[in-house]
Amino acid sequence: MVKSREWSRKTREEVITLHRKGNGYKKIAKMLNIPRETIGSIIRKFKAKGTVETLPGRGRKKMLTSTAVRYLKRRVEKSPRVTAEELRKDLSDVGTEVSAQTIRRTLRNEGLHARTPRRTPLLSPKNKKSRLQYAKSHVDKPQKFWDSFLWTDETKLELFGPMDQRYVWRRKNKAYEEKNTFPTVKHGGGSLMLWGCFASAGTMNSLQYQEILDDNVMQSVTNLRLGRRTASHCHPISPGTEEILDDNVMQSVTNLRLGRRWTFQQDNDPKHTSKSTRAWLQIKGWNILEWPSQSPDLNPIENLWWDLKKAVAVRKPKNVTELEAFAHDEWAKIPVDRCKTLVSSYASLLKAVITVKGCCTKY
């Protein structure tokens, strides 16, 4: 007969106390309003084990042995993409029949949970070597060195981008009720491209452009004043006005007080590494940081783009005009302390790259 309940420790101790005083099973059962069979079970257990505590080993036995659990842990540590069904078949081949759900539950109990993998750039051995070399050669630089950097990058903002997606609380079979759905629009419903720069002293105004840049128009597109429209704001600009880039960058350097020994950072996008762009930068005589390819995680401005996209999504722009206005507004609101923290923690980022031998980091 299966027990319907577990009596409290206090009650069991009271049974033993009454029994030691010479009371019989029937009398104790009547005094405590407990079935006589239960009284007998408590007393027999006390006589055999010397305790009224609940002993281990009760309940349903585990379906997987400790050896099987160790196998599952080794398997998923070595091959994280293996499925629960594949693991079930592996155990079945050696005579252990369990469900895939049992395997999932066992792994969760061991601290291993199924998660969506993070998306990272594809790194070749050459990329990893370059990243590792970059980290080792800069990890011991003083903070003053990083405070003189002008970090730059481009990003794309969509009107209905992924930052707008949220979880919903809903009941079963209610997935397609309008309140539980997320409407989508082709091509994100409109977008804009932003170029921005920052240093430990803060951000500068963002520059918008709406064209695909190539090495022939890279300098001319960045001719646009940061955050200011011109008549040619959304159209290709003829080359030959590189001095405006000089105005924008140098104005940022001055406003952010980077000093005379400042360094210009940009990634290895083809428009940045073309012969014409390199030649133009060489004429300017700027100190250019040698940047390892496939390394967005090494550029702290990526964290600011994330902050910007979250802030813009909260304001729910209804059209591209609002998207642009909110983007410039929120970029200007980024606290100086946020910028300073990103730059001051850069050495930790480089140490992380060294630890993982050039692979991608959480930064």
* CATH number for the domain running over 125-355: 3.30.420.10
pLDDT, residue 214, reads: 46
Averaged pLDDT, 306-320: 91
By mean pLDDT, which of 45-59, 148-162, 209-223 is the weakest? 209-223
Main-chain dihedrals φ then ψ at residue 280, nearest 5 degrees: -65, -45
Main-chain dihedrals φ then ψ at residue 346, nearest 5 degrees: -65, -35
* H or E element, residue 156: strand 149-158
Give me the helices (H) in 256-345, please: 270-273, 275-284, 301-315, 320-333, 336-344
pLDDT, residue 171, reads: 83
CA distance 29 to 10: 15
CATH says 9-49 is which class?
Answer: mainly alpha
User: What is residue 154's three-state secondary structure?
Assistant: strand
Task: List pLDDT tens digits, range 209-229.
Answer: 654 444 444 454 444 333 333
pLDDT at 273 over 50: yes
By mean pLDDT, which of 1-15, 82-96, 325-339 is the weakest? 1-15
- As a whole number of Å, the end-to-end CA separation of the chain is 59
295 alpha carbon, distance to own chain's centre = 16
By mean pLDDT, which of 2-6, 135-139, 148-152, 359-363 is the weakest? 2-6
